[in-house]
């Protein structure tokens, strides 16, 4: 790996670490609001990246050019939710909070880029970083919504699932990590399921960017 490639990968690590930190903070914050202080007591109710990053998934692999990453999962204990909150509902809410935070970050990147262009504050390096942040957060949000364990989407699917399907679901969860690896490594129809919503998000973002920039 040459110096230029390493610098490009290092630039990718910056928005990745920030996005993953916000994602995990969102899980911790939503759980705390529902009455579970497990993550808060472990110091995870913070935006400090050092409390969330995984050395391999957040730094080393991205530096090597691997186009994905992960952070340390935030622990959630549904038994500590407020009695008014059903455990299944609470888990769905806390799981959804992560991808929602990434959608919000992606929107913020578009708005900031539009404002910069509107007021002629363009800066190539900053715009490239914001564009990278937008694409990264859209990818994180869509990917994490897949109903495959241990992704956030699996928690939502589990919460909506009839009890009669639970035994089959528990058997399926054993193969979740292998299925995710296959999706990432080998071309498959499921990759098209990922690209379609991402493409729609890019199209909407481009339109919003033009409106804000006044172009």
The set of catalytic residues is 24
What pairs with residue 53 in β-bridges? 71
Q: What is the DSSP letter of 153?
A: H
**Helix, strand or coil for residue 128?**
helix
As separate numbers, helices (DSSP H) first and strands (DSSP E) second, the chain gives 9, 0
24, 36 in Cβ contact below 8 A? no
Query: Which residues, in sequence order, are CB contacts of 72 under 8 Å at separation 6+?
Result: 24, 52, 53, 54
- Do residues 24 and 72 lie in contact, with contact meaning Cβ atoms separated by under 8 Å? yes
Q: Which single residue is written with the structure tokens 């390493």?
A: 6
């Amino acid at each position: 790996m040459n110096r230029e490639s390493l610098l490009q990968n290092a630039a990718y690590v910056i928005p990745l670490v920030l996005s993953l930190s916000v994602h995990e903070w969102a899980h911790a914050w939503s759980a705390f609001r529902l009455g579970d202080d497990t993550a808060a007591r472990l110091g995870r109710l913070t935006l400090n990246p050092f409390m969330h990053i995984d050395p391999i998934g957040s730094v080393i692999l991205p530096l090597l050019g691997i186009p994905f990453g992960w952070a340390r999962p935030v622990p959630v204990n549904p038994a500590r939710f407020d009695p008014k909150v059903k455990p299944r509902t609470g888990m769905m809410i806390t799981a959804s909070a992560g991808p929602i935070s990434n959608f919000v970050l992606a929107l913020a990147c578009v708005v900031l880029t539009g404002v910069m262009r509107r007021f002629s504050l363009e800066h190539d390096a900053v715009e490239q970083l914001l564009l990278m942040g937008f694409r990264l957060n859209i990818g994180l949000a869509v990917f994490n919504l897949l109903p495959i364990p241990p992704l956030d989407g699996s928690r939502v699917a589990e919460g909506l699932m009839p009890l009669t399907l639970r035994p089959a679901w528990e058997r399926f969860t054993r193969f979740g990590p292998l299925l995710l690896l296959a999706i990432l490594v080998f071309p498959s129809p499921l990759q098209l399921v990922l690209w379609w919503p991402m493409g729609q998000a890019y199209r909407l973002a481009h339109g919003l960017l033009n409106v804000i920039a006044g172009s």
